[in-house]
Amino acid sequence: MKILLCCEFYHPSVGGVQVVIRALAERLAARGHQVTVATSRLTTRTFTTLEGVQIKEFTVSGNLVSGMHGEVGAYRDFVTSGDFDVIMIKAAQQWTFDALWPVIDRIPSVKIFIPCGFSSLFEPGYADYFRKLPGILKAFDHLIFYAENYRDINFAREHGIKHFSIIPNGASEVEFAAQADPQFRTSLGISADDFLFLTVGSFTGLKGHLEAAKAFSLADFEDRPAALILNGNKCGGGNLGLFSTLIRGIGIIKSHGLKYLLKHAIKTSLRSVGLKVGKDDELLLVLRSINSQQGKKAFITDLERQTLIQAFINADLFVFASNVEYSPLVLYESAAAGTPFLTVPVGNSEEIASWTQAGIVCPASRDSKGYTRVDPLELARHMELLVQDPATLQRLGEAGKRIWSERFTWAKITDAYEELFLRLVAERMA
């Protein structure tokens, strides 16, 4: 088959939801399919082929709400004039999907779409976008969801859409074949006796770093020494770094507009005169408090991928307190590492805990816009109980690794996608 995959970012150093596309693209190419990825042009990319996957770049940015700029016409022409058997697009609310709305009926290939959660479904600025979306979804041959019960699949059901499959996320059978490195803890000054907590996510202010740190600070581990690793993109030194600030600012503009950009600028001005505002500053204060407590230590890290795998493998418990997710890859990666997880009910984390048998869900509320808000004291109590229950931790870790290897490796997930593609193409040709 000739397969075109469309996603906003595609690069070895880009994580998050794009990991799925790279995992599928490389495995499908290895199976003999001709795979092309249409994606954003990156100045750091010096190649047009990666692991057998052809990469077609376009200088485009934005979405239908914020406005799209760049080579929009060239991208539309490439998709509508190509001789691909299958075209699959990853995620709403970004240009590789939104740019095709006016030409969706001109695409000759089998068309598949992965909605990826509809993170802005409850945002007022996206109301018109989601009013028009059902008609676009019905123009696709098939939809793929990662969850059986979440806002995107429920949105489709509410609008009478039935042509979909549920194919979950997973974790790499290659990466998580690694053995535990006994030097990992030593390299960070963590003792073999320390109970090691890990949380992972980009420093956007929405991935639960602050909530996890607050809970860790409040928890009483009854004299058991404990350490917390807060891993995220481009942090270091005494603050979270310019990169994460810029990324957060871009996300705010795309989701909320210039009003929120102005608020962000005001916060920056206040920080310049030494005032503490926002989650980043609060997190740094919490970390200072943790590191002043007897028997506790906390680290902000931005580990390279192979070292991050070792963090998953060496951790005693993965803690996830994110405010918004779809189907968090980090929970599958924790299961793949044989590490139990404690998560809030964000995205379809409750389903993942059930499917993998690898985790415990800490209760948390959701606000009017769908963001998960956990009480740090409640999270702290769950952390305390698990530290004191090694038998449960062992049971969760062993079950998660076994079930992941049976059902949730990228090789298994690729089987499901390949089977679907072949069936849809055969139906088109019949």
Higher pLDDT, 293 or 268: 293
- Across 25-29, 156-160, 279-283, 406-410, least confident range: 279-283
Higher-confidence residue: 239 or 15? 15
Is residue 3 within 8 A of residue 110, CB to CB? The reply is no
168 burial level (CB within 10 Å; 0-12, 13-18, 19+): buried
Q: How confident is the model at residue 272 (pLDDT cuts 50, 70, 90)?
A: very low
Query: Which among 16, 23, 6 has a CA at the least distance from the CA of 247?
Result: 16
- What distance, in Å, lies between the first and last C-alpha atoms of the chain? 16
Residue with more model confidence, 179 or 278: 179
Write the CA distances from 257 to 44, 126, 154, 236, integer angstroms: 28, 11, 27, 29
Q: How confident is the model at residue 71 (pLDDT cuts 50, 70, 90)?
A: very high
Per DSSP, the residues of 124-191 read: GGGHHHHHHHHHHHTTSSEEEES-SSSHHHHHHHHTT---EEE----B-TTGGGPPP-TTHHHHTT--
Which band of pLDDT confidence, cut at 50, 70 and 90, is reported for residue 45?
confident
Percentage of the chain exceeding pLDDT 90? 80
Query: What residue type is 224 in one-letter code?
Result: R
Q: Are residues 135 and 241 in the same domain?
A: no
Query: Number of folded domains in the chain?
Result: 2
The band of 15, judged by pLDDT with boundaries at 50, 70 and 90, is low
Residue percentage of the chain with pLDDT more than 70: 87
Least confident of 130-139, 194-203, 242-251: 242-251
Domain that holds residue 284: 175-407
Mean pLDDT of 139-150: 96
* pLDDT at res. 338: 98
- Among all chains, which residue has been given the structure tokens 């995205």? 347
Residue 269 has pLDDT above 70, yes or no: no
CA distance 199 to 376: 14
Residue 372 in contact with residue 345, Cβ under 8 Å? yes
This prediction has a pTM of 0.86
Q: Are residues 357 and 252 in the same domain?
A: yes
Please give the pLDDT value at position 233. 79
- Judge if 182 and 108 occupy the same domain: no
- Rounded to an integer, what distance in angstroms lies between the CA atom of residue 362 and that of residue 385? 11
Same domain, 297 and 330: yes
Across the range 55-61, mean pLDDT stands at 95
CA angle 241, 245, 248 (to 5 degrees): 140
Instruction: Identify which has the larger pLDDT, 261 or 103.
Output: 103
pLDDT of residue 234: 55
Average pLDDT estimate for 59-87: 96
How far apart, in whole angstroms, are the C-alpha atoms of residue 176 and residue 333?
8
Q: Is the pLDDT of residue 406 over 90?
A: yes
Per-residue pLDDT at 336 exceeds 70:
yes
- At 44 the pLDDT is 84
How far does Cα 97 stand from its chain's mean position? 18
pLDDT of 258 over the 50 cut: no
Q: Report the C-alpha gap between 326 and 352 in whole angstroms.
A: 11
Give the pLDDT score at 257: 45
Amino acid 301: pLDDT: 94
Residues 6+ apart with CB under 8 A from 310: 178, 180, 181, 184
Residue 336: its H or E element:
helix 329-336
CA 377-290-235 angle, to 5 degrees, is 105
Report the mean per-residue pLDDT for the chain: 89
Give yes or no: residues 251 and 389 share one domain. Answer: yes
Q: Give the pLDDT band of residue 369 (cuts 50, 70, 90).
A: confident
103 & 165 share domain: yes
Same domain, 222 and 333: yes
- pLDDT score at 79: 97
The whole-number pLDDT of residue 370 equals 84
Q: Taking residues 19-48, what's their average pLDDT?
A: 93
CATH number of domain containing 341: 3.40.50.2000
Q: Do 210 and 164 lie in a common domain?
A: no
Residues 399 and 312 in one domain: yes
Residue 259 CB neighbours (<10 A): 11
Cα(384)–Cα(413) distance, rounded to whole angstroms?
Answer: 35
Whether residues 187 and 317 fall in one domain? yes
Per-residue confidence at 119, pLDDT binned at 50, 70, 90?
confident
Let me know whether 227 and 131 are in one domain: no
Burial of 368 (0-12, 13-18, 19+ CB in 10 A): exposed
pLDDT at 127: 96
Contact status, residue 409 vs residue 170, Cβ threshold 8 Å? yes
Query: DSSP secondary structure string, 231-285?
Result: E-TT-BTTB-HHHHHHHHHHHHHHHH-HHHHHHHHHHHHHHHTT---HHHHHHHH
DSSP code of residue 105: G
Given a contact cutoff of 8 angstroms between Cβ atoms, the answer to whether 283 and 277 are in contact is: no
**What is the C-alpha to C-alpha distance for residues 264 and 278, in angstroms, rounded to an integer?**
9
Nearest in space to 357 (alpha carbons), one of 383, 338, 384, 381? 338
Whether residue 88 contacts residue 116, with contact meaning beta carbons closer than 8 Å, is answered with: no
CA distance 228 to 182: 18
Q: Give tens-digit pLDDT for 337-359.
A: 999 999 999 999 999 999 999 99
pLDDT per residue as tens digits for the range 183-239: 999 999 999 999 999 999 988 889 999 999 999 999 999 989 999 999 997 533 334
Q: Are residues 79 and 221 in the same domain?
A: no
Cα–Cα distance measured from residue 21 to residue 210, given in angstroms and rounded to the nearest whole number: 29
